[in-house]
Amino acid sequence: EVQLVESGGGLVQPGRSLRLSCAASGFTFDDYAMHWVRQAPGKGLEWVSGISWNSGSIGYADSVKGRFTVSRDNAENSLYLQMNSLRAEDTALYYCAKGRLGELSRPLDYWGQGTLVTVSS
Amino acid sequence: QSVLTQPPSASGTPGQRVTISCSGSSSNIGSKTVNWYQQLPGTAPKLLIYSNNQRPSGVPDRFSGSKSGTSAFLAISGLRSEDEADYYCAAWDDSLSGPVFGGGTKLTVL
């Protein structure tokens, strides 16, 4: 059974940093692209970042480019999102999602339950 | 403002057929396949339709997808109360080099 478990969320002041983690199990992690998607309270889904199976292809939404960094550790079956210079508008539930294949462009076929990030002073 | 445009709401009575539209452009729906996600209240999104019209294992055949030009459609037939959820379309966007989502459609079963 595919499982994606996010952690690392919390309350953080504007301008500070936070690192999210996603522990994956139930599939061959290094065969698939992985993504972060966020959902602000009461709002829709917004893709944040994605990384291909071998980290050879990485993408970011314009809203986070230059502030967020995605990475993965295939030996640890883990996905990470380093978030710097956080803003109030980054407040959201952050989902880890698995790509259906190794490339970034494939649909997201499994999602975790999310970790909540609140940016506020 | 989402890149893909969906109606904010839709509704139907049990047993009815409902269609949700998703409008995009040549850089996304017009040249790429469309996926649909279902988000039940208080839960994570779930892949409902991929590659325009393919259903993952376990998704009932009451759900179907189609695409025409720069628009895509999700149809739900034999509407049931448990179909009440938010539905999102998505597609890869070549201009943005990432997937884009619609704003979501809240489906109410009357």
What's the pLDDT tens digit per position in B40-91?
A: 999 999 999 999 999 999 999 999 999 999 999 999 999 999 999 999 999 9
Query: Which tens digits make up the pLDDT trace of A14-25?
Result: 999 999 999 999
Mutation to test the B interface, candidates A51, A105, A115, most B Cβ within 10 Å: A105
Contact B98 A112 (CB under 8 A): no
A22 to chain B, closest Cα gap in Å? 15
Amino acid sitting at position A33: A
Q: How far is CA A23 from CA A9, B33, B63, in A?
A: 14, 29, 31
B5 to chain A, closest Cα gap in Å? 12
Please say if the pLDDT value at position A103 is more than 90. Answer: no
Tokens of A82: 């380093």
Query: Which tens digits make up the pLDDT trace of A45-100?
Result: 999 999 999 999 999 999 999 999 999 999 999 999 999 999 999 999 999 999 99
Q: Which residues of B touch A46 (CB under 8 A)?
A: 101
Q: How many CB atoms lie within 10 A of CB A64?
A: 23
Contact B44 A100 (CB under 8 A): no
Contact B102 A59 (CB under 8 A): no
Please give the share of chain B, as a percent, with pLDDT higher than 90: 95
Q: Which residues of A touch B100 (CB under 8 A)?
A: 47
pLDDT of residue A104: 85
Confirm if B4 and B100 have CB atoms less than 8 A apart. yes
